[in-house]
Amino acid sequence: MLSGFKNFLLRGNLVDLAVAVIIGTAFGAVVATFTNWLTAQLPESASEYFTNEPNTFGAFLNAVISFVILAAVVYFFVVMPYTKAKERYFPSAPAGTPEDIKLLQEIRDLIAAQRPQA
């Protein structure tokens, strides 16, 4: 029962999806605060169409710093341990020559062997 749960966590895209949601939410805050700051910079006649909230560049900077810190935490405490555990329990196949390349090399060698020597 526990091994099935371990396989579910490590084989599926569960961690990838969780990281995407966390990073996407944090980046959404960055975009929202930047948009609010940008629209606050418009002239009074144009900015009344967008928002009346008093936003500053500091709010945007705060969102960017929060995003970078959150991304670092997610990377170092979720992505790296997940990658190491995945390689430990499900090692990737050893690198080698693909089958189609091997077949083409065999064909090349057979053709070269059939040619008359000059």
What was the pLDDT predicted at 110? 93
Mean pLDDT within 98-103: 86
Average pLDDT, the chain: 78
CA distance linking residue 42 with residue 48, whole number of Å:
9
Mean pLDDT within 86-110: 84
CA angle 104, 109, 111 (to 5 degrees): 95
Q: In terms of pLDDT, which residue wins out, 50 or 98?
A: 98
Render the burial of 86-110: b for 16+ CB within 10 Å, e for the rest. eeeeeeeeeeeeeeeeeeeeeeeee
What was the pLDDT predicted at 106? 92
Q: What is the pLDDT of residues 32-88, one digit of tens each?
A: 888 777 767 767 665 455 454 555 676 777 778 888 888 888 889 888 888 888 888
Mean pLDDT within 82-108: 83
C-alpha distances (whole Å) from 42 to each of 38, 53, 57, 105 are 7, 13, 13, 65
| pTM reported for the whole predicted model | 0.53
CA distance linking residue 49 with residue 90, whole number of Å:
55
For tokens 């020559």, name the residue.
97
What was the pLDDT predicted at 52? 46
Q: Is 61 helix (H, G, I), strand (E, B) or coil?
A: helix
Token digits of residue 8: 């579910």
Among 4-8, 77-81, 87-91, 110-114, name the most confident range.
110-114
Residue 78 gets which letter from DSSP? I
